[in-house]
Structure 1
Amino acid sequence: MRIAALSLAGLLACSAQAAVITEELEYRVGDQTFKGYLAIDDAHPGPVPGVLVVHEWWGHNDYARQRADMLAELGYAALALDMYGDGRQASHPEQAGEFAQASLASLPQAEARFNAALALLAGDGRVDGERIAAIGYCYGGGVVLHMARSGADLDAVASFHGSLTPLAAPLPAGSQTRIAVFNGAADPMVPAEQLRAFRQEMEAAGADYLLVDYPGALHGFTNPAADQAAARFGLPLGYDRDADQDSWRQLQAFLQASLARKEE
Structure 2
Amino acid sequence: MNRILTATLVLLLTACGGGSGIQEQEVTYRDNGTELNGFLAYDAGAEGPRPGVLVVHEWWGHNEHARNQARKLAELGYTALALDMYGGGRVAEHPDKAAEFAGMVRKNRDLMLRRFRAAEAFLRDHPRTDGTRMAAIGYCFGGSVVLEMARAGADLEAVASFHGPLATDHPAEEGAVEARILVLHGNEDPMVPPEQVEAFREEMEAAGVDYRFVGYDGATHSFTNPAADQAAERFDMPVGYNAEAAEAAWEELERFLAETFNG
Per the normalisation by structure 2, the TM-score is 0.91
Moved more, 222-231 or 173-182: 173-182
Q: Which residue of 2 aligns with 1:40?
A: 42
1:198-250 deviation digits (Å, cap 9, x = unpaired): 11011111111110111121100001111110000000001111110000001
Cα drift, residue 112 of structure 1: 0.5
Q: 1:84 aligns with which of 83, 86, 100?
A: 86
Residue 146 of structure 1: SS of its match in structure 2? helix
Amino acid at match of 1:163: P
Aligned ranges 1:19-58 → 2 under 5 Å: 19-58=21-60
Could you tell me whether the CA contact under 8 Å between 2:186 and 2:220 is conserved in 1? yes
Could you tell me whether the CA contact under 8 Å between 1:54 and 1:144 is conserved in 2? yes
Could you tell me whether the CA contact under 8 Å between 2:150 and 2:178 is conserved in 1? no
Amino acid at match of 2:170: A
Amino acid at match of 2:246: D
Q: 2:223 aligns with which of 221, 224, 237?
A: 221
Q: Extract unaligned runs of 5+ from structure 2.
A: 1-18
Q: 2:184 aligns with which of 182, 185, 191?
A: 182
Distance 1:61 1:78 in 2: 15
Moved more, 28-37 or 101-110: 101-110
Cα drift, residue 186 of structure 1: 0.4
Q: Which residue of 1 aligns with 2:67?
A: 65
1:163-196 deviation digits (Å, cap 9, x = unpaired): 0011x32122122210000000100000010000
Amino acid at match of 1:38: L
Moved more, 106-115 or 69-78: 106-115
Q: Extract unaligned runs of 5+ from structure 1.
A: 1-16
Could you tell me whether the CA contact under 8 Å between 2:51 and 2:130 is conserved in 1? yes
1:51-89 deviation digits (Å, cap 9, x = unpaired): 000000000011100000000000000000000000000
Q: 1:149 aligns with which of 145, 148, 151?
A: 151
Amino acid at match of 1:34: L
Distance 1:212 1:165 in 2: 17
Could you tell me whether the CA contact under 8 Å between 1:133 and 1:259 is conserved in 2? no
Cα drift, residue 110 of structure 1: 1.2
Amino acid at match of 1:139: F
Distance 2:222 2:84 in 1: 19
Aligned ranges 1:1-264 → 2 under 5 Å: 18-166=20-168, 168-174=169-175, 175-261=177-263
Q: Which residue of 2 aligns with 1:14?
A: none
Distance 1:171 1:78 in 2: 26
Cα drift, residue 105 of structure 1: 2.2
Residue 153 of structure 2: SS of its match in structure 1? coil
State the superposition RMSD in angstroms.
0.9
Q: Across the two proteins, how many residue pairs are aligned to each other?
A: 244
Could you tell me whether the CA contact under 8 Å between 2:154 and 2:178 is conserved in 1? no
Q: 4+ runs of 1 displaced by more than 2 Å?
A: none
Distance 2:225 2:106 in 1: 23
Cα drift, residue 18 of structure 1: 2.7
1:116-175 deviation digits (Å, cap 9, x = unpaired): 000000001221101000000000000000000001111100000000011x32122122
Cα drift, residue 100 of structure 1: 0.3
Moved more, 174-183 or 157-166: 174-183
Percent of aligned positions with the same letter in both sequences? 55
Cα drift, residue 90 of structure 1: 0.1
Could you tell me whether the CA contact under 8 Å between 1:162 and 1:183 is conserved in 2? yes
Moved more, 171-180 or 24-33: 171-180
